[in-house]
Structure formats: structure tokens, C-alpha cells
């Protein structure tokens, strides 16, 4: 799939996320929309994974360490056929596995994540297993920027470099916001690239909404005995005009009018699964 097609798919998925959160009256919309282009590039282009490969030992692994951004992830999985799109209607409903954080009872989800600071450790284990077992799969872990205040992230960062896991990617959704406000006001992260570099990672910064740039990054990555860190500059709540770059939209629910405006701006008439 080329960059234009992926960007278009990502726009449809934004409409899905916005609609799903409105219908469920719950969800973490800000981070779901900031990370949607990243997840789309991974699933549409980069990763060796499809619904027939769920038990394939050589499938690429994806972990949503910032598990609260599950809405975007679920929409991508449904769109890729891991489960029927109609099931998105059940999001956050009683008895559903489609809950507010990734649950590995849902086809395609490897691990239950969302307690922040856990994902990269699990990713280190997956990547280390690939090395020890001579498997070629790669592991991609998507982290939030607010999440990086968890000390366990840095335990895992140390281990990833120690074991020279060049089959491991830490991707950071650098939207600059967390629930209480600007990350630099809550707990300063900068200079973030220098921190990861100092921990022994190969660091690259990219526009997390530039599909082509992210595709180029992943296709040009080489194994250099170091794990990879991709800092994606993103806009929180990207695609919902009322909420872009506003901390209040970490987990605010859009009303009917805001959904209508957003879908119009995205050029989507209506979602196909309601």
C-alpha cells in the first residue's frame, strides 16, 4: 500500500474512532488520534502480520504500551480483518472484550497492556526470544510520552541496549501532552532524543503524521547492534477540530455536532459498521 492510500485509510479510521467513542460515551480520544497514523503505517505496510498468522511463531509483534489509546488500535485490527468490524459497536459494552485497554482475548492482541511502563519490558523479552531462537520477526512497542516518567521504561531501555536488540523498536507518540497538561510542565522529558541516545538506542525523530516519512524510516532501518527509537512528533486528538492539541481532550467524548464536523473535515460521510 502506498503512502497516499495509507493516509486515506487512516482518515477513515479516525472517523471510526470518533464515532465509536461517541457511541460508547467513553474512550481516550486524544492519544488514539495522535497515534493512528503510526499504527496504520505499521499494520498497512511495515509489519509481517495478518489474521491468518496469529499462531505463526515468526509473526511480527506489536505492543500498545500506552494501552489507553486502544480505540485506534481496535479500529485498525477490525479494518485488517482480525475480527468483524461490526464488533466495534460493542466497544466498552458490558461483557465485551473490546474494553478500554488492550486485552489479549481479542484476536491480534498479544498481551494485556495499559498499566503504563510495562510494554517495553515485554518487548525486550519478545525481541530477546527472537535472537535466542534465531527467528527473524521484529517487535514494535508504542509508548506514550507521559508514560516515559515510569521508571520501568528505563529499566527496559537499558536491557534493550545491553542485549543489542536491533530487532526491537520503541516508538514514542510525542504529542507533548498528558492528562494534566504539557509534559514539560508535569515532568520534563527533554532532551528526549539525548536520553534515548545515552541509553544506547539509535534515535530518529519524525513527523508522526507524515506517512511517507515513517514508511521511509522503517524501510531504511538496518540492524546495527542497537535497538531503535523513533520519536514521532504528533498532535494530540489529530483529526477532531474541536480537540486538537488540547489537554482536556485526553479522554473527552465528542458530541453529535463535533462528530459531524470532524467527519466532514475528514471527508467521510459515515462509518460502514454501525
Partner 1 sequence: MKTEAVRMAFTAALLEAAKNDETIFAVTTDSRGSVTLGDFAKQLPQQFVEIGIAEQNAIGVSAGLANAGLRPFVCGPASFYSLRSAEQIKVDVAYSNMNVKIMAVSGGVSYGALGTSHHATQDIALMRAIPGIEVYLPADGAQMRAMLKYFVKSNKPAYVRMGRGAVPEVYKDEAPFVSGKANCLREGKDIALIACGEMVYHCLQAAELLVEQGVEASVIDMHTLSPIDKDAIIKAAKTGLVITVEEHCIHGGLGSAVASILAEECPTAMCILGLPDEDIYNGASADVFEYYGLNGSGIAKKVLEVLKK
Contacts with Mg ion, residue ranges (CB under 5 A): 144-146, 175, 178
Q: Determine the Cα–Cα distance for residues 165 and 136; give it in Å rounded to an integer.
A: 12
What's the min distance (Å) between Cβ of 134 and partner 1? 11
Is 110 an interacting residue with respect to partner 1 (CB under 8 A)? Answer: yes
H helix intervals, 83-150: 119-132
Tell me which DSSP letter residue 44 carries: I
Is 191 an interacting residue with respect to partner 1 (CB under 8 A)? Answer: no
User: Do you know the residue count of the chain?
Assistant: 274
Is 112 an interacting residue with respect to partner 1 (CB under 8 A)? Answer: yes
**121 or 202: CB nearest partner 1:** 121
From Mg ion, partner 1, none, which one binds at residue 121 (CB under 5 to 8 Å depending on kind)? Answer: partner 1
CB-count exposure of residue 194 (10 Å: 0-12, 13-18, 19+): exposed
**110 or 166: CB nearest partner 1:** 110
Is 156 an interacting residue with respect to partner 1 (CB under 8 A)? Answer: yes
Binding mask 116-155 for partner 1 (x = CB under 8 A): -xxxxxxxxxxxxxx-xx-x---x-----------xx--x
35 phi and psi angles, rounded to 5 deg: -100, 0
What's the min distance (Å) between Cβ of 226 and partner 1? 18
Q: Name the strands in the sheet holding 139-144, side by side, starting at the edge strand that comes first in the sequence.
A: 61-64, 139-144, 168-174, 228-233, 202-207
From Mg ion, partner 1, none, which one binds at residue 146 (CB under 5 to 8 Å depending on kind)? Answer: Mg ion
From partner 1, Mg ion, none, which one binds at residue 127 (CB under 5 to 8 Å depending on kind)? Answer: partner 1
**123 or 208: CB nearest partner 1:** 123
- Residues 6 or more apart in contact with residue 262 via CB below 8 angstroms: 14, 15, 18, 239, 240, 241, 242, 254
Kindly identify the residues of this chain, within the stretch 205-234, that bind partner 1 according to CB under 8 A.
none
Under rule CB under 8 A, how many of the chain's residues touch partner 1?
A: 34
Residue 175 near residue 30, CB atoms below 8 Å: yes
Q: Determine the Cα–Cα distance for residues 94 and 243; give it in Å rounded to an integer.
A: 28
From partner 1, Mg ion, none, which one binds at residue 261 (CB under 5 to 8 Å depending on kind)? Answer: none
* Angle formed at CA 30 by CA 150 and CA 84, multiple of 5 degrees: 105
- Give me the residues that bind partner 1 (CB under 8 A), please: 57, 61, 104, 110-115, 117-130, 132-133, 135, 139, 151-152, 155-156, 158-159, 162
Amino acid at each position: 500500500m502506498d503512502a497516499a492510500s495509507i493516509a486515506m485509510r487512516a482518515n477513515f479510521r479516525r472517523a471510526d474512532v470518533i464515532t465509536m467513542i461517541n457511541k460508547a460515551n467513553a474512550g481516550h480520544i486524544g492519544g488514539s488520534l495522535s497515534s493512528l497514523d503510526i499504527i496504520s503505517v505499521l499494520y498497512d505496510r511495515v509489519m509481517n502480520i495478518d489474521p491468518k498468522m496469529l499462531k505463526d511463531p515468526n509473526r511480527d509483534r506489536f505492543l500498545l504500551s500506552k494501552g489507553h489509546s486502544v480505540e485506534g488500535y481496535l479500529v485498525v485490527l477490525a479494518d485488517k480483518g482480525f475480527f468483524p468490524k461490526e464488533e466495534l459497536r460493542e466497544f466498552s459494552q458490558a461483557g465485551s472484550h473490546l474494553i478500554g485497554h488492550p486485552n489479549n482475548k481479542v484476536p491480534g492482541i498479544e498481551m494485556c497492556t495499559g498499566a503504563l511502563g510495562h510494554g517495553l519490558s515485554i518487548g525486550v523479552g519478545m525481541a530477546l526470544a527472537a535472537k535466542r531462537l534465531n527467528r527473524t520477526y521484529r517487535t514494535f512497542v508504542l509508548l506514550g510520552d507521559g508514560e516515559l516518567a515510569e521508571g520501568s521504561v528505563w529499566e527496559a531501555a537499558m536491557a534493550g541496549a545491553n542485549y543489542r536488540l536491533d530487532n526491537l523498536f520503541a516508538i514514542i507518540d510525542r504529542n507533548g501532552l498528558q492528562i494534566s497538561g504539557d509534559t514539560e510542565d508535569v515532568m520534563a522529558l527533554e532532551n528526549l532524543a539525548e536520553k534515548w541516545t545515552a541509553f544506547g538506542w539509535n534515535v530518529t525523530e519524525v513527523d508522526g503524521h507524515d506517512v511517507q516519512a515513517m514508511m521511509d524510516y522503517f524501510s531504511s532501518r538496518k540492524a546495527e547492534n542497537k535497538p531503535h527509537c523513533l520519536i514521532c512528533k504528533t498532535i494530540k486528538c489529530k483529526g477532531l477540530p474541536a480537540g486538537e492539541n488540547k489537554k482536556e481532550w485526553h479522554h473527552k467524548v465528542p458530541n453529535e455536532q463535533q462528530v459531524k464536523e470532524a467527519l466532514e473535515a475528514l471527508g467521510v460521510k459515515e462509518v460502514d459498521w454501525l
